[in-house]
Amino acid sequence: MTDARIWHAEFGHGTPIVLIHGYTIDHRLLLPLDPAFADRPGWRRIYLDLPGHGNSPRLPGRTSATAVADAVVERIRELVGQERFAVVGQSFGGQLARAVTAAFGEQVLGSALIVPVVRWGTDRTLPEETVAERDEEFLAGLSTSEQQVFGAVMARHTKTGWGLYRRHVAPGWDAHDRTAAAELEADFLLPEWPEHGVPAHGGRHLLVTARQDALVGWRDQLALLDHYPRMTAAVLDGTGHNPQVESADAVRELVGRWLDELAPPRG
């Protein structure tokens, strides 16, 4: 037992679907996906706050990718029991969603991976151009630190983009545990890809990447297609590391189609 005490928010009833956010933010970053369920009753949406993020305390021991993955798998077992469920993961949460699929096997209906972490550090293949739109006059009014964080996770450096950032990204950034985050950054990848050593997963899977993603890129993620024979892949233009925020309509449409392809729950 990890005694992780992972906090979660729940909406709806029916088949569980677990949504896992990324590094140094919290579950609020994935709430723009929730309208995809408006005309799809029968899903019990479980939004996690990872250890050291949002409302969840840090792990009792040193924070690492493996420790967080173990805590998430344990928490999901508590929340869903023997029920079949689906999983959504964004960025670092995408790496965790892959680990969840490997751990639970056919109990997982399928996964939606949004800009998932696949490689890190100098092993990443990043795009040369990561800015889709830039308003220099507006940016001049931001502090250097604000520009750095905003610019790293968004591709449209405009007043509108800043509004989306302040609403969906900044609250989680402000709330995360800096010490735990530093520990995790030093041990950010699982020892091996979760897909290695387990059978190919036959469920329906979705991969969403972004051409202007300055943090994880999009090329490395395409290698995941070899491990998921029923995976649909989309590379979105004009958006960065948070496409569910910057290109919300497009991502919700993709997620909605993916939900429709899963074994349909009954509302």
Residue 153 belongs to a domain: no
Q: Residue 151: its pLDDT value, please? A: 93
Residue 78 belongs to a domain: yes
Residue 267 belongs to a domain: no
Residue 141 belongs to a domain: no
Q: Which domain holds residue 255?
A: 8-126+176-261
pTM: 0.95
Residue 148 belongs to a domain: no
Domain of 247, CATH number, reads 3.40.50.1820
**Does residue 232 sit in helix, strand or coil?**
strand
**Does residue 151 sit in helix, strand or coil?**
helix
pLDDT at 124 over 70: yes
**How far is residue 85's CA from residue 83's CA, in Å, rounded to a whole number?**
6
Residue 225 belongs to a domain: yes
- Confidence band for 21, pLDDT divided at 50, 70 and 90: very high
Label each residue of 102-139 as H, E or C: HHHHHHEEEEEEECCCCCCHHHCCCCCCCCCEECHHHH
Residue 242 belongs to a domain: yes
Please answer whether residues 188 and 117 qualify as being in contact, where contact means their C-beta atoms are separated by less than 8 angstroms.
yes
Residue 137 belongs to a domain: no
pLDDT tens column, 46-72: 999 999 999 999 999 999 999 999 999
The DSSP secondary-structure symbol of 220 reads G
pLDDT tens column, 206-250: 999 999 999 999 999 999 999 999 999 999 999 999 999 999 999
pLDDT tens column, 129-184: 999 999 999 999 999 999 999 999 999 999 999 999 999 999 999 999 999 999 99
**How far is residue 232's CA from residue 208's CA, in Å, rounded to a whole number?**
9
Number of domains in the chain: 1
